[in-house]
Homo-oligomer: A and B are copies of this chain.
Amino acid sequence: MRYAVLGTGVVGRTLGGKLVELGHEVTLGSRTADNPAALAWAADTGGGTGTFATAAGSAEVVVNAVGGQVALAALSAAGADNLDGKVVVDVSNPLAFEDGEARLSPVESDSVGEQIQRAFPHARVVKTLNTVNCEVMVDPARVPGGHQVFVCGADAGAKEQVTALLGEFGWPAERVLDLGGIRASRSVEMWLPLWLNLMRRFGHAEFNLELRSAR
């Protein structure tokens, strides 16, 4: 499969690297074609690099791995035409910093997942993986137990395709919980404040939640 991974931060580089490892054709997209982090990543992994637009244009699936605050800007730079009809996997969180404090924006009455779907109505947006650290995203076995991830989005076929991708990452289908439409992005994005507190408490980011149910 041909993937565009938008974003050259640790999340984009980690997801992109794993996708290359899995045998996919990957272009890491950034604002400029000569982004040094992207070039170093390409030298390391054998993946390709390009602008947001060239990456998205050549891809079958687009992964949004830039921060939630800049997701719309990155996807606009990628170009609506380059997203039309494609699965867009949004793994971002609406993390903002105000006076050095972590805050969420948008929050509660909106979400990055919904913003993207509204802005690109012909993209098949699936929100997933934003509830775990990127090392756990691509290697869930780092954390013991039957911990889970979520998917949500309007397009059932897109969610199936993303569930299969999650399977390649190491998440068995029974540990991928479908929360319904893209509006559920609000609920998974609002997990972040608790995740941040738990990261402080554990002293590291390699943890996840396992839902336990009476029946």
Which A residues have a C-beta under 8 Å from some C-beta of B? 103-104, 107-109, 142-145, 147, 177-180, 184, 186-188, 190-191, 193-194, 196-198, 200-202, 204, 206-215
| B180 engages A198 (CB within 8 Å) | no
CB distance from A153 to the nearest CB of B (A): 13
How many copies the complex holds: the figure is: 2
| A179 engages B208 (CB within 8 Å) | no
Name the B residues within 8 Å of A215 (CB-CB).
Answer: 204, 206
Name the B residues within 8 Å of A209 (CB-CB).
Answer: 209-212
| A208 engages B198 (CB within 8 Å) | no
CB contact between A212 and one of B177, B188, B191, B208 (< 8 Å): that residue: B208
Given contacts A104-B108, A191-B191, A194-B188, contact A212 B147 (CB under 8 A): yes
Q: Interface residues of A: mostly helix, strand, loop or mixed?
A: mixed
Cα separation A204 to B213 with both chains bound (whole Å): 9
CB contact between A184 and one of B103, B184, B188, B197 (< 8 Å): that residue: B197
Closest residue on chain B to residue A179 by CB atoms:
B197
| B197 engages A194 (CB within 8 Å) | no
CB contact between A213 and one of B190, B206, B211, B214 (< 8 Å): that residue: B206
Closest residue on chain B to residue A209 by CB atoms:
B209
CB contact between A107 and one of B107, B198, B206 (< 8 Å): that residue: B107
| B214 engages A197 (CB within 8 Å) | no
Cα separation A144 to B188 with both chains bound (whole Å): 23
| B179 engages A201 (CB within 8 Å) | yes
CB distance from A107 to the nearest CB of B (A): 5
Name the B residues within 8 Å of A143 (CB-CB).
Answer: 212-214
Cα separation A185 to B177 with both chains bound (whole Å): 26
**Among A104, A147, A213: residue with most chain B CB under 10 A:** A213
| B187 engages A211 (CB within 8 Å) | no
